Structure 1
């Protein structure tokens, strides 16, 4: 197996974020954490992932500050995984992935899960806006790259 190159020092924020998130299992764990799952067994049952892989992914998400281990509410030695503030900042990423899947990976009228606002039941939608609040498309945005000399 080829060792994965670290992107920790990369000049691209997307590359650094991917270095922390790692892989699709990790994103699915984060998705489940947003859905309220917190215990190892809950993640394992939801994902059908091998225990050794789940252990590795949870350990990495904790080490990278996405999840934290906290004592379960009922006391005792049980621990739960909770999203940190950093982990909660992945919410727009998860919404964007959902919207991409809804738009491109389902047939018209094909049933799929929905993300809705808890209080109103209204569907959640994400769009990209300038700091001034104007909605923009990919054709209207450009990445200002840093030279490696800086």
Structure 2
């Protein structure tokens, strides 16, 4: 009696997937677009979703918060980063709420920039680069 011919085993799904993945060139994962603070600021100035007096009030609140960040970075503030974060989140929530009905695209842009803006505010070098002065 002769031995039956052996048939090579079919490759497993995992082996096929691994071989296919190895043959593909590495792909870049798209990161968030770079933060454009000046562009966001201009869009906020130009939007009709917020009235003039409300914009002035918001500007004063932003200036107050920036002054607190400046003092924090200079070691002069009696405020913690946690307290600054809370004030920052409340201000951003207010801005997004004011924008969401009248300018949803800008509301989305502000909301999606939340962490990037926070990073600028909390990093001493990045904060200095925005050129805030009292």
- After TM superposition, is the score higher than 0.5? no
TM-score by length of 2: 0.28
TM-score by length of 1: 0.26
Q: Which structure shows the higher strand fraction?
A: 1
